[in-house]
Amino acid sequence: MKKKNMKKISAALLAGALLMPAALPYSADAATNIKIYVDGVELVTRQAPVIQSNTTLVPLRGIFEELNARVVWNQKTQTITAYKGSNTVMLKIGSKAATVNGQSVTLDVPARAIKGNTVVPLRFIGESLGQDVRWNAASKSVQITTTKDLQAPSSVTARSLGQYGDGRDIQVNFAKSADESYVDHYRVYAVKSGSASAFNASKAWNSSYTTALPTGSNQSISLGAQAKDSDGQALVSGQSYQIFVLAVGNRYATGETVLSSPSAAVTLSGTSAGSVTATAVKATDTADYGDGRDLTVSFAKAQDESRVSGYKVFVVKTRDAASFNLNAANGVNAQNSTTVAKGSAAPSVTLNAQSRDTAGDLIQNGVPYTVFVLATSTSNVASNNTLSAPSSSVTLATAGSDVSATAVSASDVSDYGDGRDLRVNFNRATNESLVSQYRVMVVKDSKSSSFNVNTANGVSSANYTTINKTGSNIAQSLTNGARDTDGDAIRNGVPYRVYVLTIGSGTSSSTNVLSNASQAITLSGNYSVGAASTPSLSDAGDNGDGRDLLVTFGRAADESSLSQYRILVVKSGSAGSFNLSSAINVPFANYTAVSKTGANQSQFLSASTRDVNGEPIRSGVSYRVFVLSVGSTSSSNNNSNYALSGVSNAVSLSSNSGVSGASNVAATVSGARGNASDIEATFTRSSNEENVSEYRLLAVPSDRSGSYSLADANATSNYVTVSKAGTGQIRQSFDANSRDVFGNAITTGGKYRIYVLTVSGSGSNSLSNGSAEISLSEAAVQPVASVGVTANGPTVTVNFAPPANASGISGYRVLLVRTSDVPNFTASVANNASEAYSKSSNGSTSFSLNSGDTDIYGNALQANTQYRAYVLSLSNGQQATANALSPASNDFTLNN
């Protein structure tokens, strides 16, 4: 564990600011020395006026902000408003009246504006924000005791999706900390159930985890395929885990970390679950009996049915589908499911009149259902069964209709850079007498796999488009104000899928039905100005300004009509309303211009960087980043000349324990061995190595470097370790067996960028910018220019002259090919030919054939058959790594 943080009000902030002018409209005692303590730490001693013998006046903004409150000034009304967690404080210059969370309070003396600073009684500052403030007349000191602001996440739950057999199956939900302004990030831990009772915040700090950033809302995340448990071991099937969530405080938090209570135990299903899982489950209303006979279920069989004994079909009320998992499926009574035998190429079953849903109710019209298929294991162990993903919701209705919009599709029809570009088409419900309206929902493709009818029912009215039924199929473009289901403006460069939620004519949301998703669609400019991919933002420095922000993003797919990118830093609170028009109008002093390079980008900002409002980048403020693509045409007012990326994750700068990262990273290919040992990296060490334990060289494939982040670098186990040097420049080669950060071999033809991770002893690491792109090349030796053949009776001699440059050649190999086989003979065949079917020599350039020789396919040489001879120059694997094949000789025939 790190040492516990203490609240601090900087001495620089208070120096002189506590002093009040002598001329005030009310009497004041002579100035006296006042000591200010926060959490027992003396911060400053200054002269300050004491009004009416017990009131000390201090600047409101400075101390509010140091106590992690956000302050807003209204010049017109002369009113100042401060926000801290759930507290809202309002007061007006010249007035003794103030409100705290809507309740009136009275100040000891009025708030005053002195040289641009609003000064108020110190006691009011502390008490209005829930801090304990006490005046000690004897010692003439003010004691401020802060509350423990950082609170633990709560309501942690976990479920197994039963699809992959790894961490992707574990879906974690938790309620955020009560006040996220004190949260830097969350850490999600999967702890073996046997170790859960002893797991605590101290152990969590040194355990493996998955990071989740604050979003302002309760969270639902799935762990990754590479997720590990708290012991650093891969998540495996059959093992029971409990989930904990740790809130890690930022610099304002009194407590550094707070650990949640554990979830209930969750167990992954059988190994290689994907190969023994039913997929593509579809439920269709195919008749009109008003019971289970109307419902036909089809699905794709498991890839490996040797481990499957059969299948069970479960019909679940859609309202309960979100909580239906493998454990629930294994516990369903046999009479509430339908059995399907394995062996069919395309399994399908129509239920019967007595079929029931998983709650035991008869299947009937008007109830939305979702269908799951359980593949039962031949092991007869319930935990080895696998559960499919859910079908789309279906509601049985008369006239064969499932009361759902169908055939949903989306197309890019214009070039505004917003919702007007997106046209949605769908077929109306067959029976619209049970429909009141349709809702078009645009969902980011990355979130579409988990989007269901329950999610759709919960979407805010501002984040979908309502379409009234017309009696006809629908084709409609959205508006410029249309937003996706997350509330983000629809924009170029973001992959979406579109759903249509059919709203039933009743008052209950249980009658709503969600369509299947459209195809994925990404809006783009028809003027060839493409959007950069959604950027990633990380705090990778410790300077307290723009130099700490590392922005990575993928280049536009087509940069031919693009002149530059602009990195735009936006306060998180304003990011929701930031759009293409906003981006175009940002002054040049308030963005960072980046030239196109033909590759993905990774860029540290500068110390002078400002946000789009012109304010310097500073610690403690939450930021998000957009990237604006700027076209090369001259019309600055034409929106088609621009394209805006999606918005990055939110980042608040905080201390990284004084670790400044490596810089000036460069990489060269210094050999031709065709492996990682050809790569040599150079970089400038950290300016202060006091907190540095080591450096790590990371090889990142170029096509994935645009989104590579500090979190990725911290998580990888594939790197080259470099000891800190104590000198300015460090030079280090990779090992022949070194791998890229994803564990893949570094090979010829691959393109890479090299990064340096500066590792801190405290765990607060720093990631450098990437090097320029490098690519390993395969050096080939020179081929023999010509091959001669001399036949003298039964003797045939093959001779040749070595190439002028024989560098890298270890020897030669003579290969005989029947003339009829020459059309199929290639350099690849030559390289793979058996040495037993050729003649090799380290130095000789003349070879005589005898009766025991064969052609390159191992066939005995035959008289009266035409052949051609080739010579293969063999590489030595050091100066060169590829062989070279000569041209063929003339045809020759063996006489005997």
Query: Hey, where are the domains in the chain?
Result: 11-145, 154-267, 273-399, 403-522, 536-652, 663-775, 787-893
Give the pLDDT of residue 108: 78
536-652: which CATH architecture? Sandwich (2.60)
Question: What's the CA gap between 352 and 295, in Å, rounded?
Answer: 8
> Is 787-893 the same fold as 273-399?
yes
- Burial profile 562-599: b = 16 or more Cβ within 10 angstroms, e = fewer: beebbbbbbbbeebeebbbebbbebeeebbbebebeeb
**Higher per-residue pLDDT: 101 or 753:** 753
Give the pLDDT of residue 289: 73
Per-residue pLDDT of 848-873, as tens digits, reads 777 678 888 888 888 888 889 999 98
The band of 623, judged by pLDDT with boundaries at 50, 70 and 90, is very high
Averaged pLDDT for residues 661-687: 81
Per-residue pLDDT of 625-650, as tens digits, reads 999 988 876 444 466 678 888 888 88
Give the pLDDT of residue 756: 92
Per-residue pLDDT of 205-232, as tens digits, reads 888 888 888 877 788 888 876 788 998 8
Report the DSSP pairing between strands 170-175 and 219-222.
antiparallel
Give the pLDDT of residue 23: 29
Give the pLDDT of residue 400: 34
Identify the CATH number of the domain defined by range 787-893: 2.60.40.10
**CA angle at 301 for the pair 455 and 451, rounded to the nearest 5°:** 10
**Higher per-residue pLDDT: 747 or 360:** 360
Q: What percent of the chain has pLDDT over 90?
A: 17
Write out the E strands in 573-654. Answer: 592-595, 601-604, 622-631, 642-644, 651-652
Give the pLDDT of residue 146: 65
Give the pLDDT of residue 242: 95
Write out the E strands in 535-650. Answer: 536-539, 549-553, 562-571, 592-595, 601-604, 622-631, 642-644
Averaged pLDDT for residues 85-102: 81
The band of 829, judged by pLDDT with boundaries at 50, 70 and 90, is confident
**Is the pLDDT score of 785 beyond 60?**
yes
Question: What's the CA gap between 14 and 367, in Å, rounded?
Answer: 66
Per-residue pLDDT of 237-246, as tens digits, reads 778 899 999 9
Q: What is the mean pLDDT of the chain?
A: 80
Q: Which of 400-404, 477-481, 787-791, 887-891 has the highest mean pLDDT?
A: 887-891
Q: How far from chain centre, in Å, is Cα 325?
A: 26
Q: What percent of the chain has pLDDT over 70?
A: 80
The band of 151, judged by pLDDT with boundaries at 50, 70 and 90, is confident
Give the pLDDT of residue 341: 93
Averaged pLDDT for residues 840-846: 69
Could you tell me the CA-to-CA distances from 536 to 550, 556, 763 in Å, in that order? 8, 15, 21
Averaged pLDDT for residues 87-105: 83
Residue 800 backbone dihedrals phi, psi, to 5 degrees: -160, 165
Give the pLDDT of residue 798: 87
pTM of the model: 0.30
**Is the pLDDT score of 610 beyond 90?**
yes
Question: What's the CA gap between 301 and 323, in Å, rounded?
Answer: 24
> Is 273-399 in CATH node 3.10.20.70?
no
Averaged pLDDT for residues 320-333: 90
Class for domain 663-775, per CATH? mainly beta
Q: What CATH homologous superfamily does 403-522 map to?
A: Immunoglobulins (2.60.40.10)
Give the pLDDT of residue 639: 64
Give the pLDDT of residue 539: 79
Give the pLDDT of residue 288: 67
The band of 261, judged by pLDDT with boundaries at 50, 70 and 90, is very high
Q: Which of 167-176, 354-363, 598-607 has the highest mean pLDDT?
A: 354-363
Of 37-46, 106-115, 531-540, 559-568, where does mean pLDDT reach its minimum? 37-46
Regarding the domain delimited by 11-145, which CATH topology (the fold level of the hierarchy) does it fall under? Answer: Copper Amine Oxidase; Chain A, domain 1 (3.30.457)
Give the pLDDT of residue 22: 28
Give the pLDDT of residue 763: 62
Of 68-82, 371-385, 598-612, where does mean pLDDT reach its minimum? 68-82
Tokens 């890229």 -> residue? 740
* H-helix segments, 367-460: 453-457
**Higher per-residue pLDDT: 219 or 558:** 219
**CA angle at 88 for the pair 621 and 64, rounded to the nearest 5°:** 50
User: Nearest CA to 778 among 626, 629, 674?
Assistant: 674
Report the DSSP pairing between strands 32-38 and 141-145.
parallel
What amino acid occupies position 341? A
**Is the pLDDT score of 17 beyond 60?**
no
Give the pLDDT of residue 42: 60
Per-residue pLDDT of 336-358, as tens digits, reads 999 999 988 889 999 998 899 99
According to DSSP, the residues that pair with 32 across neighbouring strands are: 48
Q: Give the Cβ contact number of residue 32 at 10 Å.
A: 12
Averaged pLDDT for residues 318-343: 91
- Whether the CB-CB separation of 737 and 676 falls below 8 Å is answered with yes
Identify the CATH number of the domain defined by range 154-267: 2.60.40
**Higher per-residue pLDDT: 589 or 729:** 589
Q: Which of 6-10, 194-198, 531-535 has the highest mean pLDDT?
A: 194-198
Give the pLDDT of residue 1: 35
Report the DSSP pairing between strands 87-92 and 279-285.
unpaired
**Higher per-residue pLDDT: 30 or 892:** 892
